[in-house]
Amino acid sequence: MTTDITIYHNPECGTSRNTLALIRNAGIEPHVVEYLKTPPSRALLEQLIGRAGIAPRALLREKGTPFADLGLGDESLDDDALIDAMMAHPILINRPLVVSPLGVKLCRPSEEVLDLLPEPQRGAFAKEDGEQVIDDAGNRVGARGEHR
């Protein structure tokens, strides 16, 4: 299986940085797309949403975006209108979105990426806030320190 992985990344986002670090902790150097500098095309964004099996609304980011100013909380807006908003304001695209041979997923929390990695973790990993996610043997640790 190939380890061709792409992360749609925002280096200003802690969750995105943690997700990228978990990918690298598996010995994989992903293709990093800073989507605010290089937004996906509409066709690609629609494909990613479809492959992730989510609705466009599930990919919308509210915090630190023009979500409220644009009235995007209006449940009557259709998928096309939401995608139009994401195309006009890429900051509305939640992150990190990860594409791997095992699927596409919005990795919030960052540990969600572990389901997409074809390679095991190579050692201990703690998030930027100090939360231990992977132990010294490369095994996933639960929220209270128990192994999963």
Is beta strand 31-34 parallel, antiparallel or unpaired with respect to 6-9? parallel
pTM (predicted TM-score): 0.92
Side chain identity, residue 48: L
pLDDT 10s digits, 46-69:
999 999 999 999 999 999 999 999
Contact 70, 46 (CB under 8 A): no
Q: For the ranges 2-6, 22-26, 128-132, 135-139, which has the lowest average pLDDT?
A: 2-6
Three-class secondary structure of residue 99 per DSSP: strand
Average pLDDT over residues 3-18: 95
Contact 15, 110 (CB under 8 A): yes
DSSP of 82-102? HHHHHHH-GGGB-S-EEEETT
User: Which residue is it, tokens 């986002």?
Assistant: 13
Instruction: Specify the pLDDT at position 138.
Output: 93
* Assigned token pair, 3: 């380890």
Alpha helices (H) in 4-144, listed in sequence order: 14-25, 42-52, 56-59, 79-88
Residues serving a catalytic function are 13
